[in-house]
Structure formats: structure tokens, C-alpha cells
Amino acid sequence: MTPPGGAANGRIPVMLMVRELDQGGVERDVAKIATHLDPSRFEPHVGSYNASGMRYDELRAAGIPLLRLPLEAPFSARGVSAGVLLWRYLKLHRIQVLHSYDVSGVLGAPVARCAGLPAILTSQLSHRDILDWKTQLALRMTDPIADLVVVNCDALRRYMIEVEGVPARRIEVCYNGVDTTQFYPAEGPRPDVLAGASLVVGTVCALRPEKGLPLLQEAFARAARPPGTKLAIVGSGVELPQLEANAARLGIAGESLFVPATPDVPQWLRAIDIFVLPSYSEGFSNSLLEAMACGCAVIGSRVGGTPELTGEEERGLLFPRGDSGELARALSLLMRNQDLRRELSARAVRFVRRSLTIEIAARRTGAIYEKLLAR
């Protein structure tokens, strides 16, 4: 059914909100859901603080209506004017569901409540301790405004109940999904800069402190690696100068490759034999999920939803957070054991195709919206 006040075409108008639309995992989530919601049931719109970035271009090319909210930060003086702009847009387009995926909910949830929307959702996709205290406080003030808080793994569900005090009945789990028409295993030549590499260890992520990339460099330097092994770090961010200096300090500069954030993520993942996610804090990682879909043998730190994704080492290896020695041992094991790499890769690809496609995630998201509206 179409709720009262819905779109004239019978579809449910939905506003997805996110702070940025560039390279991060949350931005990928928003773009994937917006473009994969059932078009016969939903009319997606996307609001963000900036009108630029690779996901912005992707959404515009897909014909998704985009709203720019000119706001540098949720607590800036321009917040009132951005709130008025959002309120008018919600009314004009008769939006029925607002779903904020990050700190944009500090603006979106109160405005949606004032606009009388029947369904307001926020997402919590990581632990809040990586945020500054003002943002943490604002999100905690927003939690009671939302009808539901959506999390992307059971680990975050427990965290929101036990640490943040959100009642279990107001939390829904919706695992991330990957587009298997883009992310799949395939044989082919590596990028020219990796030509001749015997084995490639790598990661693809935003270069932020919580990703723990110096730990990966230290473990790579300590591991018993075959001649010709390369370390590829794909992504952009504030940590790049430190990582470059760290590679020189550890004596692995000649074996290291730094590649800026790129839309050609599947190509790079298919070039990586062993994918490592050494994060100190993580939800349910898109990067790790995409690496598994592309057939990488994966290693992740035992944080957040990573054990759920790897099946407690059924589909990938785990190491204790911050332990470079254990990571080096896991790397050494996979470097010398091709059969184990192939077995972990095959299990991961089967699991992703069966349980974690973007189509499954979009159907689950749509079902959450419709269930909330039906209440």
C-alpha cells in the first residue's frame, strides 16, 4: 500500500541522508541502496552536505534526485537555513521515510519530526568512540527521535543496546550488500604498476587513523614474504604522509605502492591476493565484503562485525586488534600456503553470493521501511 500523502505514482518517496558522497563506506551504502531499492515501490531521494564526489556523480548519472544542504558541519551557524531547506524539500516531495546514515541525522531526524514524517530512521554503522564528544552527544540526543536505529551487524546491535542504551525493540539489523555484477573473481593482468609482482598484499580504504594501516606495514615488514611480494594501499586521506614515512622507516618503501582513491575498486581487488583489514574500530566493512566477493583471501582484526563476515575464520583469518605479531603470522601462513588461500577465497565467494548481495540488502531495507510505515 501507498501511505497517505505518498507520491502520486503510487511509490513511497524516501529521503536517504549522508554527510558526504565521496569514497567512504557509508557513502557507498547510500549510493547502493538508492540505486537498488525496488523502483516499483520506492522513489528514492538523496540529501548531502556537498554536491561533489564519486558517489554524487554516480547517483546523478542514475537519475536520483539530489538535495544539497549547504552545511559544513552539523553544529555550524548555517544549520537553521539548512534545516529550513530540508523541511521544504520534505514537504514539497511528500517524503514519507527519512533515513539518515551518519551524523547527518543530527539535522535530518529533528527536521523530519517537525515535518510530520511517519517514518524516521537513523543508521549506526560503527562504534561512536571514533567520533569527537560533541558528535557522540548529538547522536545520543537523536536516538530517541528516530523510530528505528538500523545497524549492519549483530555486534553493533549489542553495542547499541549495552553501551548506548537503545531498546532492543527499536533496533533493526540490515547487513551490507555487494554488487556482484561488479565485484567478482576474474583472472587477468594486474595494473601495470604491479606487473611482475609474485604476490600482492593489500587493502582498499579511506586512510584514517582507525583503519590501523601502520600495523599492516609493520606486519608486512616482519612477515616471511616470498621475493617479489608487493604491498598495495589503495585510498586517500590524512594518513598518507605518515604511511609513506613509515614505509621508508621499515625498509619496505621499494615494495610499497600507494594508490589514490579510485572508482576502479574491483580491478584493484582482483589484483590483490591477500586483503588485510587491520582496523582498530569497524562495523561491517564494505571493503572486506567487496574483497571477499572478488576472491581475495582475507585477514581482519577481531573487531565489530568482521568475525561475523569471516565466519570466525571459516572464510578468512582473524587476529587480535593491534597485534602486529599475530598479523605477521597470519600473513606468513597465507603467503606460503596457496591451497589455503584458494579454499578461503572459494568459501568467501560462495557465502557472499548466497547471503550478502546488494539485492538482498535492498529488499531488506525496503521491508524495514514498509514495516515501519505499516505500524
Exposure b/e, 279-310, CB count within 10 A at least 16 = b = bbbbbbbbbbbbbbbbbbbbbbbbbbbbbebb
Residue 110 shares a structural domain with residue 122: yes
Residue 290 shares a structural domain with residue 275: yes
What pLDDT is stored for residue 78 in this prediction?
75
Share of the chain above pLDDT 90, in %: 86
Residue 25 shares a structural domain with residue 131: yes
Is residue 209 one of the residues assigned to a domain? yes
CATH number, position 267: 3.40.50.2000
Residue 169 shares a structural domain with residue 234: no
Residue 166 shares a structural domain with residue 196: no
pLDDT per residue as tens digits for the range 345-366: 999 999 999 999 999 999 999 9
Is residue 295 one of the residues assigned to a domain? yes
Is residue 155 one of the residues assigned to a domain? yes
What pLDDT is stored for residue 3 in this prediction?
44
Residue 276 shares a structural domain with residue 296: yes
* DSSP-derived secondary structure for 242-256: HHHHHHHHHT-GGGE
CB atoms within 10 A of CB 106: 23
Q: If you average pLDDT over residues 56-60, what whole number do you get?
A: 93
Residue 34 shares a structural domain with residue 112: yes
pLDDT per residue as tens digits for the range 205-243: 989 999 999 999 999 999 999 999 999 999 999 999 999
Q: If you average pLDDT over residues 152-167, what whole number do you get?
A: 96
Is residue 187 one of the residues assigned to a domain? no
Nearest one of 126, 83, 112 to 15, comparing CA atoms: 112
Model confidence at 53, pLDDT cuts 50, 70, 90, reads confident
pLDDT per residue as tens digits for the range 298-335: 999 999 999 999 999 999 999 999 999 999 999 999 99
Is residue 2 one of the residues assigned to a domain? no
Residue 200 shares a structural domain with residue 346: yes
Distance CA 375, CA 370 (A): 9
Neighbouring residues of 110: CB distance < 8 A, sequence distance ≥ 6: 83, 142, 145
Residue 132 has pLDDT above 60, yes or no: yes
Is residue 111 one of the residues assigned to a domain? yes
Residue 79 shares a structural domain with residue 202: no
pLDDT per residue as tens digits for the range 237-293: 999 999 999 999 999 999 999 999 988 999 999 999 999 999 999 989 999 999 999
Is residue 109 one of the residues assigned to a domain? yes
pLDDT per residue as tens digits for the range 76-129: 667 788 999 999 999 999 999 999 999 999 999 999 999 999 999 999 998 998
Residue 67 has pLDDT above 90, yes or no: yes
Residue 137 has pLDDT above 70, yes or no: yes
Residue 1 has pLDDT above 50, yes or no: no
Q: If you average pLDDT over residues 121-147, what whole number do you get?
A: 93
pLDDT per residue as tens digits for the range 8-40: 578 999 999 999 998 778 898 999 999 999 999
Residue 231 shares a structural domain with residue 115: no
Q: If you average pLDDT over residues 164-193, what whole number do you get?
A: 94
Residue 363 shares a structural domain with residue 298: no
What pLDDT is stored for residue 2 in this prediction?
41
Distance CA 235, CA 371 (A): 38
Range of the domain at 243: 192-355
What pLDDT is stored for residue 8 in this prediction?
55
Q: Where are the beta strands (DSSP E) in the chain?
A: 12-17, 42-48, 66-68, 97-100, 119-124, 148-151, 171-173, 199-204, 229-234, 256-259, 274-277, 297-301, 317-319
- Please tell me the total count of domains within the chain: 2
Distance CA 109, CA 104 (A): 8
Residue 70 shares a structural domain with residue 211: no
Is residue 140 one of the residues assigned to a domain? yes
Model confidence at 75, pLDDT cuts 50, 70, 90, reads low
